[in-house]
């Protein structure tokens, strides 16, 4: 089975780095990290991700704008985008399934959660 290509956009380089190490160690995923939201589209063009995990609160440009850029680009219009956020409470999460039309996961997030999300949004 071909490993899924995951693009992680988050200004926390420690997080993206550890997430890459962990996900890739399972052998099921190929991960590329972007710590500057403004570079997300550029990296996506050569990395060609199956799914994007997008941090909401970032300097210079926030996750919402990045998501819009993806949606606006014909190449990535159908690309699954999942937000990762630190400021949504679990109770809110109970009543909300998306942010601005995109699904989201609340930080801290486990590898299992990521894996489930990938499985959900990128079926074989």
Partner 1 sequence: MTKTAPGGAASPQKFPTIRLLVIEPDGESVRLRDLIDRLDERTFRIVHEFPSAAAAAAALEREAADLVLADIDDQGLHGLDQLAALPTLGSRVPFIVIDREPQEEIARRALQIGAQDYLVKSKLTPPRMARAMHWSLERARVDREAKRESALLHALLDYVPDKIYFKDRHSRYLCVSKSVAEWLKADDPAELVGKTDFNYYSAAHAEATFADEQRVIETGQPLIGKISHRQLPDGAEEWSSTTKLPLRDRNGRIIGTCGITRDVTASKKLEQALDAERTMLRGLIDNLPDPVYVKDTQGRYVLDNEAHARFLGVTQSDVIGKTVFDFFEPAFAEQAHEVDMAVLREGKPWFNHEEQTSSTGEATWLITSKVPLRDEHGAITGLVCINRDITERKRAQDDLIAANERLEAAIASVKEAHQELHAVQLQLIEAEKLKSIGRLAAGVAHEVKNPLAIISMGVEFLGGKYAGDETTGEVLKELGDAVLRADNVIKGLLDFSAPHALALETNDLNAIIQAALTLVRGEMRENHRLEVDLGDIPPINIDRGKVSQVFVNLFTNALQAMPDGGTLTVRTRVEQVVGVGANVGGESSEVFQAGDRVVIAEVADTGPGIPPEVLPRIFEPFFTTKPTGKGTGLGMSVVRSIMNLQRATIVMSNRPTGGALATLTFKIQDIP
- The reply to whether 91 sits near partner 1 by the rule CB under 8 A is yes
Task: Specify which residues 5 forms β-bridges with.
Answer: 30
Q: What minimum distance in Å lies between the beta carbon of 26 and partner 1?
A: 8
- The reply to whether 119 sits near partner 1 by the rule CB under 8 A is no
Q: Could you tell me if 15 and 53 are in contact, meaning their C-beta atoms sit under 8 angstroms apart?
A: no
Q: Which range in 11-19, 27-35, 39-47, 66-74 contacts partner 1 by CB under 8 A?
A: 11-19
- The reply to whether 57 sits near partner 1 by the rule CB under 8 A is yes
């Amino acid at each position: 089975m071909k490993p899924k290509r995951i693009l992680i956009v988050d200004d926390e380089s420690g997080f993206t780095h550890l997430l890459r190490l962990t996900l890739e160690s399972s052998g099921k995923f190929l991960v590329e990290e972007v710590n500057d939201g403004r570079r997300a589209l550029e990296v996506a063009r050569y990395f060609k991700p199956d799914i994007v995990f997008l941090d909401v609160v970032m300097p210079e440009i926030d996750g919402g704008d990045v998501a819009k850029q993806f949606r606006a680009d014909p190449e990535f219009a159908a690309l699954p985008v999942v937000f990762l956020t630190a400021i949504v409470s679990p109770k809110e999460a109970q009543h909300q399934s998306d942010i601005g039309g995109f699904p989201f996961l609340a930080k801290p997030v486990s590898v299992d959660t990521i894996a489930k999300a990938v499985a959900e949004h990128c079926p074989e």
